Amino acid sequence: MVLDWWFFCTFVSYLLYRVMLQNKPTYKTDYGYVRVASVVPSLNVADVAGNVHNIIKSYNEAREEGAQVVVFPELAVTGYTCGDLFGNEALLDEVELGIEEIARNVVASGGIAIVGAPLRERGHLYNCAIVMTCNNGMYVVPKTYLPNYKEFYEKRWFTSDNITRGAITEISINGLKYPFGTNMIFECGRLKLAIEICEDLWVPVPPSSIAAINGANVLVNLSASNELVGKHDYLVNLIKHQSNQCIASYIYASSGYGESTTDLVFAGNAIIAENGSIIKQGKRFCTTPQMSVADVDLEALDNERRLNGSFTDSMLQFTRQYKYIPIEFDPLDYEHVKLERKVRKMPFTPNETSRLNSRCEEIVNIQTQGLMRRMDFTHTKSLVVGISGGLDSTLALMIAVRAFDRLGLDRKGIYGITMPGFGTTGRTHKNAVALMNALGITVKEIRIADAVMQHFADIEHDPEVQDVTYENSQARERTQILMDYANKVGGMVLGTGDLSELALGWATYNGDHMSMYNVNCSIPKTLARHLVMWFASSMNTSNPTGIVIHETLLDVLDTPISPELTKADAQGNIAQMTEDLVGPYELHDFFLYNMLRHGFGPEKIYFLARKAFAGMYDNATIKKWLTTFSRRFFNQQFKRSCLPDGPKVGNVSLSPRGDWRMPSDASSGLWLKQCEQLPV
């Protein structure tokens, strides 16, 4: 009887387990983020008890903000400017008691704290970072490089790890031994954390560089850096550079108000960088505690490292010479952290107007230089450009004019050909002709309707059926005209298709898909708008020609995006809206950037897009167009496998010769399955 009851309970438990498995969401909730904090607490020099109290208070506040790793400044327990008090036993005894008090709080609060303090061992005093974990573990990392110049005389008090490395591997704190050394990487799931202290960053080969090569993706610097005119800008650039070359996040915490001002002033720096960008920075010269909290993307960093051949090659040199010990902690709880990180809607364009203007000028110069060199090499004095009055052909034309001017060529060598078809509207035709005339190029108009109708007759296609044959026949007729006219004038056809269209395959194969050189091939649609606006803003409007160009460019920007391959509406307006058919380009550019730049899958892209476009698009809309993007990106690869040459301008490109090598018959099943399972 008992056995029967046991079998019954077991069977019911199994059924419940199966139901739970079926109902469990298959989309992931851990997207590779960890929340970190850089803290500058209140401080009084040599007031250990007060400093410990302030550190604990700030740590708990950081934990309330969701921070999982909290970093404090160099020698935060005592203050950096204690001077010869570092040789006093009373101070050092109090430090060890204070460290234990902080550690007990970390155990109670959870997370990881990294605190600076002086510690002694075997007749040496070390400037240390103490790593405290919620599982009651403590680890001590000493400073490697001690400054001994000008205002800093650390060698007067401290011993460098270079002196005793290998001889001392444990250090005593209140009679208990803890691991000691610079060769530790602290591993918590995705997080691989390594530590250096202040001056370590300023040397030719920082310890963090070697730690990064050995796997550390979050680098921590406990610092006490005084302020000098111009020093802060240099410091910020140094942190950005280090995070970039290490492909890592870099957390920097430096002492502030409360340090002695006998000779120096410490403004307090709480800086968090990621792969070359400052993602959070606190205020300087504050009289109160400050804290910078940010979510760092470990998945993006790891993906970037896998794709960076130079980073991998450097492992051959440094992993053999330097052996790091992995210190494993329990994985941190990433899953339940609500992402506070700001997600940019327009990842291809800078947010600040000043940076955007300089970026646009740089991009235009790259496009122009690429075209100039190709013309130079081929001894070409003529260009043929199809001008539709739309965004992409307008941008290509402006680049062509700029290249001709810099080469000292007559603009009449640019043959702008407008080719009205069944869907061409008066607005786009007017803008095309006005812009070409104002720029002083050779204007040609070749209507394609008769030729296309003859083609329909030849292939027995009913022109009333406005299907893909109807549309592509026009695109290919236009390309044939451009190619043949280029032969006639001894020139080459300048392509106009952009990166967004290439990603979606929104081009007619062997139609507008083809050219002899394409200056727009790595310009996404969202960036193309800014480039045309930059041209419009730089026009000299003090003369009639400049006014015409300026106003025409603005109207091009205001015109709906369309291939104009189907007939206009009854009012003569554009009826075929590209974004109605394939989706908003701002979404597709967002999807494209995060897929190619960071290697994210649909689940994480969807997660980020919902945050970036909250209030603009609902979840169902984002899911719909992400599914469209995933399907088209795979299905249309064959068009990208035979692209014309063109200049790369950013870190995302689809050139089959370098940046994106993908078989045309790769399956999209995995990506579409993830899209299907996304929650709405």
Contact indicator for 112, 134 with CB cutoff of 8 Å:
yes
Residue 508 belongs to what H/E stretch?
none
**Dihedral of the alpha carbons of 307, 310, 311, 315, in degrees to the nearest 10:** 130
Q: What is the pTM of this model?
A: 0.88
Note the pLDDT of residue 315. 67
Q: Specify the DSSP class assigned to residue 445.
A: E
Note the pLDDT of residue 263. 87
* List 74, 227, 304, 471, catalytic entry: 74
Which residues 6+ apart lie within 8 Å of 538 measured at CB? none
Whether 74 is catalytic is yes
Distance in angstroms (rounded) separating the CA atoms of residues 589 and 587: 5
* List 82, 128, 134, 143, catalytic entry: 143
Distance in angstroms (rounded) separating the CA atoms of residues 650 and 348: 8
Query: Could you tell me which of 207, 161, 159 has the C-alpha nearest to residue 185?
Result: 207
Distance in angstroms (rounded) separating the CA atoms of residues 64 and 275: 27
Q: Which two tokens stand for residue 356?
A: 């955007």
* List 82, 188, 198, 246, catalytic entry: 198
Backbone angles phi, psi at 452, to 5 degrees: -70, -40
Note the pLDDT of residue 493. 98
Residue 223 belongs to what H/E stretch?
strand 218-223
Distance in angstroms (rounded) separating the CA atoms of residues 590 and 225: 39
Note the pLDDT of residue 330. 75
Domains and CATH numbers, the chain: 34-328 (3.60.110.10), 353-676 (3.40.50.620)
Note the pLDDT of residue 26. 43
Whether 198 is catalytic is yes
pLDDT digits (tens, 9 = 90+) for 256-310: 999 998 888 999 999 999 999 999 999 999 889 999 999 999 999 999 998 887 8
pLDDT digits (tens, 9 = 90+) for 380-402: 999 999 999 999 999 999 999 99
> In the chain, which stretches have pLDDT less than 70?
1-29, 150-151, 315-322, 331, 333-337, 564-565, 570-572, 574-575
Q: Which two tokens stand for residue 147?
A: 């400054």
Distance in angstroms (rounded) separating the CA atoms of residues 571 and 533: 28
Q: Look up tokens 């109670």; give the residue.
A: 108
Q: Which two tokens stand for residue 667?
A: 């399956």
Distance in angstroms (rounded) separating the CA atoms of residues 132 and 618: 43
Note the pLDDT of residue 321. 59
Distance set, CA 90 to CA 46, 47, 56, 393 (Å)? 10, 11, 22, 76
Between helix 525-537 and helix 353-378 the angle, nearest 10°, is: 90
Distance in angstroms (rounded) separating the CA atoms of residues 244 and 234: 15
Whether 177 is catalytic is no
Backbone angles phi, psi at 93, to 5 degrees: -60, -45
